Amino acid sequence: MDEDLLSRYNYDSFVPEKFGPWLNFENSPPLGEPAPDFPLWTLDGEETRLSTVWKDHLYTIIEFGSFT
């Protein structure tokens, strides 16, 4: 595990200098375009895929990181 990566991600204050490097909107799919398929894990630790979730739900929201 990359301890430096973890320490940079778990920053101690919410200031642009610390969260800014994690923003990568330029490489995100445009609004309305499908996201690439990738593995996801449930809260129970079971692996699934984004494409599997899409098959069962019309709308899907996935939260990455901490937004609180």
Per the CB < 8 A criterion, the answer to whether 38 and 50 are in contact is yes
| Tokens found for residue 19 | 């969260």
Q: What is this structure's pTM?
A: 0.50
Q: What pLDDT, on the 0 to 100 scale, is given for residue 48?
A: 92
- Is pLDDT above 60 for 39? yes
Buried b (16+ CB within 10 A) or exposed e, 5-27: eeeeeeeeeeeeeeeeeeeeeee
- For residue range 44-60, what is the model confidence (pLDDT) as tens digits? 999 999 999 888 888 88
Q: Smallest Cα–Cα separation from 37: which of 49, 55, 53, 24? A: 49
> Do 42 and 29 touch, CB atoms closer than 8 A?
no
